Amino acid sequence: MTITLSPRLLTAIVLPILLFSFPSRVSASPASSVPTPTLEQRVAYAEAERANADPSATGIAPAASPAHTGWMMVSAALVLFMTLPGLILFYGGLVRQKNVLSMAALCLGITALVAVIWWACGYSLVFGKSFAAEDASGLAHAASPFLGGTEFFFLKNVGAAPNTDYAFWIPQNVFCIFQLAFAIITPVLIFGASAERMKFTSVVVFAFLWFFIVYIPLTHMVWGSTGLLNGVWNPKALIPAIDFAGGMVVEMACGWSALVLCLILGRRKGFGREPMMPHSMVLASVGTGILWVGWYGFNAGSALAADGIAANAFLTTTLAGAVASLVWPLVEFLQRGKPSVLGFCSGAVAGLVGITPACGFVDAGGAVIVGAAASLISYVACTTIKRALRYDDTLDVFGVHGVSGTVGLILTGILATAAANPNLLGAPAGANGLKAALEAHGLWLVQCKAIGITLLLVLPATLLITLAVRQLVGLRPGGEIESQGLDIHDHGEEGYTLNG
Amino acid sequence: MKKIEAIIKPFKIEEVKDALSELGIEGMTVTEVKGFGRQKGHTEIYRGSEYTVDFLPKIKLEVILADSSVDSAIKAIVAAAKTGKIGDGKVFVLPVENAIRIRTEETGEQAV
């Protein structure tokens, strides 16, 4: 399929982008009209900043805190670093040589695509709240647990002032780019399951549709201030679930979608007959290291502040990753006598996935349990279950992300403690029943309901998207292209050339 | 003139090269190759998927020699490359019709 870009078409694309990209007037600090604060108010304000608390009682408008903002900018970069180059290396190393560039292309391509969608409407539909406004229509009201609003389209009014629905002390544009990095990595992860046999055009069309139909509503439901499942922050959450850094939003979403996609896509040519080994465990293990380090931005950054909750998440992330990275190769060692490098890598990722929803809610002991359980259950999923069912999830996105993400969410419900995160007993949690569920040891049941809602969205939506993409542009390259490798056919390049 | 082609274990190449150098043999060509004979391959396991690797890495050494040097060179190669275990490799000897040194255009044994 070739699309020629005529000058007229180019103008049609570029002109609206230019029109919308003129700087919208971001309101400067309205401090001038407010009376000068007293010394007590200023001290209280400074203490609120240090504790990442609400400063509104002081009468001083919230503004960016250098400490919190600095950490969040680093975190945002760390999360993006997980995709570029973390997943390029991890996924690129695990496929065969002839497909290494196809993984690089989709990491880079989806990063660019999602960033533009995020700017145009994605951020607003997830983190806006205009649909819940009093003057909004009945239809918008009905949609507000599932979609945010239109007020931040083209990042209008997303400037240096904090959006206090989410964080008092970091600029909204930093929050926006931090969340963008999550929005990028989630669809990228899916295509580990379809690796080595899905056309690049199909990947792009799939990612586009999936982002709107699955990622945007799911993320609003879990993290949006008016979201259906946002137990910690939405007093009106119908199902007061907890997901600190994306067990539902990222891990379950990509993992279960990956399963549906690879089932419809079918197995690779020669699956089970030809050797399909990772072409470079060096690249894959370097990528794993980058993912682990990047995960600190992902998990500790999800506190949206440089506070004690972030520090606890940093610790639990480390412990879960470490325990899981011991358990997987230990089982291999006991079964076959050799702990593999891919075993260390897979265990680490499984543990980090498992701790993702839990990291800000559990203590060190909880993290060890989550890490061990996630690693063990993912090991069984990737070896025994996958072999028994003979589906071809190329890079085990379901086995690692889908399975460990779901396990982590349930364990979060069992192991969450207000000692690790006092917000579990905050005012919204009191209003929506989270506090009661936690105190009655019934939070795991709430988590299971949220998992059910997530599956109810993810599974049928991904099924329809995959079938639609198959109708629109097809899914797999025909003929011998798959045997020759996607790199030459889809990109006109080779990963490695002799005499280069 | 003869050509000696020796397929040997990769970690033996330095010893073989030194042994040939001691005989005054000044040039050789070495290629990384893969193959199998009686030494079967091994299995590799990636997340529970087992793959049999039939083709094992070997080194192919090629030397062209005057007839008079061939026997001693073969002895040197065999002695240096032997471990006594399966997979030590093989040595082949082939006749060579002519050789030309490109720089000087010398031919025959002068050129090797």
Total number of domains in chain A: 1
Provide the pLDDT for residue A413: 97
Distances (CA, A) of A135 to A69, A132, A138, A200, A237: 33, 8, 9, 44, 20
* Cβ contact A356:A406 at 8 Å: no
Q: What is the pLDDT of residues A170-186, one digit of tens each?
A: 999 999 999 999 999 99
- Tell me: the pLDDT tens digits for A115-132? 999 999 999 999 999 999
Give the DSSP H/E element, type plus range, for residue A80. helix A66-81
Question: Which one, of A201, A195, A197, A203, lies nearest residue A269 by Cα?
Answer: A197
Whether the Cβ atoms of residue A438 and residue A229 lie closer than 8 Å to each other: no
From the list B45, B46, B47, which residue is nearest A336 (CB)? B45
Which residue is closest to A396 within chain B, CA to CA? B47
State how far residue A274 is from chain B, nearest Cα, in angstroms.
Answer: 8
**pLDDT (0 to 100) of residue A497:** 87
Residue A235 sits at the vertex; the CA angle it makes with A229 and A238, to the nearest 5 degrees, is 40
pLDDT of residue A133: 92
Query: Measured between CB atoms, which of A340, A384, A399 is closest to B45?
Result: A340
CA–CA separation, A148 and A160 (whole Å): 20
Q: Is the pLDDT at A473 greater than 70, yes or no?
A: yes
Nearest CA in chain B to A341: B46
A277–B44 CB contact, under 8 Å: yes
Q: Which residues of A touch B44 (CB under 8 A)?
A: 277
The pLDDT confidence band at residue A2, using thresholds 50, 70 and 90, is very low
DSSP A31: G
Q: Locate the chain B residue with the closest alpha carbon to A94.
A: B46
pLDDT confidence of residue A22:
52
**Distance of alpha carbon A131 from alpha carbon B89, whole angstroms:** 75
Say if A18 falls within a structural domain: no
Question: Can you tell me whether residue A322 is helix, strand or coil?
Answer: helix
Mean of the pLDDT values across residues A27-39? 66
Residue B71's pLDDT is 95
Each residue of A153-174: pLDDT tens digit?
999 999 999 999 999 999 999 9
For residue A439, give the amino acid letter. E
Burial of A270 (0-12, 13-18, 19+ CB in 10 A): exposed
CATH of the domain at A270: 1.10.3430.10
The pLDDT tens digits for A368-382 are: 999 999 999 999 999
pLDDT at A4 over 90: no
Tell me which residue range forms the domain holding A84: 69-491
Quote the pLDDT of residue A97: 96
Taking contacts as CB-CB distances below 8 angstroms, the residues of chain A near B51 are 275-277
CB A357 within 8 A of CB A248: yes
Dihedral class, residue A196 (left if φ above 0, else alpha if ψ from -120 to 50, else beta)? left
ipTM of this complex: 0.77
Rounded Cα distance between A75 and A83, Å, is: 13
pLDDT of residue A1: 44
Quick check: A406 and A451 in contact, CB under 8 A? Answer: yes
Dihedral (CA of A143, A147, A153, A159) sign: positive
Q: How far is A298 from chain B (nearest CA, A)?
A: 26
Average pLDDT of chain A to the nearest whole number: 93
| Chain B residues near any Cβ of chain A (below 8 Å) | 44-49, 51-53
pLDDT for A19 beyond 60:
no
pLDDT in tens, A413-438: 999 999 999 999 999 999 999 999 99
In eight-state DSSP terms, residue A33 is: G
Give dist(CA B10, CA A215) in Å, integer. 52
Q: How many CB atoms lie within 10 A of CB A17?
A: 12
Distance from the Cα of B42 to chain A's closest Cα (Å) equals: 12
Phi (first) and psi of residue B106, to 5 degrees:
-65, 155
Higher pLDDT, A279 or A7: A279
Q: Is the pLDDT of residue A20 over 90?
A: no
Q: What are the pLDDT digits (tens) for A248-269?
A: 999 999 999 999 999 999 999 9
Q: For residue A42, is pLDDT > 90?
A: yes
pLDDT at A197: 97
Q: Are A276 and B49 an interchain contact pair (Cβ–Cβ within 8 Å)?
A: yes
Q: Point out the least confidently predicted range of A20-29, A32-41, A90-99.
A: A20-29
Binary contact (B48, A336; C-beta < 8 A): no
Please report the pLDDT score of residue A11 as a whole number: 59
Nearest to B46 among A277, A336, A399 (CB): A277
φ, ψ for residue B8 (rounded to 5)? -135, 170
Contact of A339 with chain B, judged by CB distance below 8 Å, is answered with no
Share of chain A above pLDDT 70, in %: 93
Q: Are A497 and A487 in contact (CB under 8 A)?
A: no
Domain B2-111, CATH among 3.40.50.300, 3.30.70.120, 3.40.47.10, 3.40.50.1480: 3.30.70.120
Task: Give the gap in angstroms from C-alpha A382 to the nearest C-alpha of chain B.
Answer: 6
Overall average pLDDT of the A321-342 stretch: 97
**Does the structure show a pLDDT above 90 at A18?**
no
CA atoms within 13 A on the CB side of B107: 3
The pLDDT-based confidence of B82 (bands split at 50, 70, 90) is very high
Tell me what pLDDT residue A28 has: 47
pLDDT of residue A10: 55
Q: Which sequence spans correspond to the domains of chain B? A: 2-111
